[in-house]
């Protein structure tokens, strides 16, 4: 049960991180300032929390599958690496290196998207009680991360208003997907705990 516990806790930690990050991006949109210290600070913290949650999930999946769930394990580590990259990108933006930070942000979002897609494939083939729901949640996260990357690309093309709005939309898609996955893991954990 301990690996399933780690997966469930990691999923909810990831939800918390996506909520913090989405809040930061919302502040950036509302202040109409892509260099908002408050917004970028929350995004930095949120991505760090997400990375921690993904790492907990990766450890749980590794312990549970003894290396058999390669897509799921790699996916969780990829998402963690993408979130760490996004945190570094936010730090660069806060430090006044906006272009470098935005380019790094695209890379981080892309890595996250690949990781969430791997996890979606893994969950679709798993014995999880709500495997399809969890898989769909990861797929939504994957699409959300890619939408965020497209928003950042728009910002780099001087389409700042549209880009920040697209980026915020992508972050809320990730929040919805992460929540779906966390609910599926929780239902599965509680079901197995009752047996």
Cα–Cα dist 51/57, whole Å? 10
- With left for phi above 0 and alpha for psi between -120 and 50, is residue 67 left, alpha or beta? left
Cα–Cα dist 159/59, whole Å? 40
**Is the CB of residue 187 less than 8 Å from the CB of residue 130?**
yes
Distances from the Cα of 169 to the Cα of 97, 131, 159, angstroms: 24, 25, 15
Helix 70-94 with 37-65: angle, nearest 10 deg: 160
Global pTM reads: 0.93
Instruction: Tell me what pLDDT residue 69 has.
Output: 87
When the pLDDT of each residue in the chain is averaged and rounded to a whole number, the result is 94
Cα–Cα dist 145/107, whole Å? 10
**Is the CB of residue 82 less than 8 Å from the CB of residue 38?**
no
Q: Please check the confidence at residue 1 and state whether its pLDDT lies above 80.
A: no
Per-residue pLDDT band at 2 (split at 50, 70, 90): confident
Q: Please check the confidence at residue 175 and state whether its pLDDT lies above 70.
A: yes
pLDDT by residue (tens digit) across 93-117? 999 999 999 999 999 999 999 999 9
């Amino acid at each position: 049960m301990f690996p399933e516990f780690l997966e469930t806790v990691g999923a909810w930690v990831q939800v918390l991180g996506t909520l913090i990050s989405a809040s930061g991006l919302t502040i950036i949109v509302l202040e109409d300032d892509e260099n908002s210290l408050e917004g970028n600070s929350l995004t930095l913290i949120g991505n760090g929390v997400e990375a921690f949650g993904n790492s907990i999930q990766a450890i749980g999946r590794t312990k549970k599958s003894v290396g058999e769930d390669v897509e799921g394990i790699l996916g969780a580590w990829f998402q963690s690496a993408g979130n760490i990259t996004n945190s570094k990108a936010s730090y660069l933006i806060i430090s006044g290196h906006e272009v470098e930070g935005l380019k790094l942000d695209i890379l981080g979002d892309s890595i996250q998207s690949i990781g969430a897609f791997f996890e979606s494939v893994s969950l679709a083939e798993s014995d999880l009680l709500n495997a399809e729901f969890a898989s769909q949640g990861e797929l939504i996260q994957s699409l959300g991360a890619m939408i965020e990357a497209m928003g950042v690309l728009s910002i780099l093309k001087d389409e700042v208003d549209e880009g920040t709005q697209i980026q915020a939309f992508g972050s809320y898609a990730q929040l919805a997907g992460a929540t779906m996955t966390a609910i599926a893991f929780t239902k599965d954990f509680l079901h197995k705990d009752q047996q």
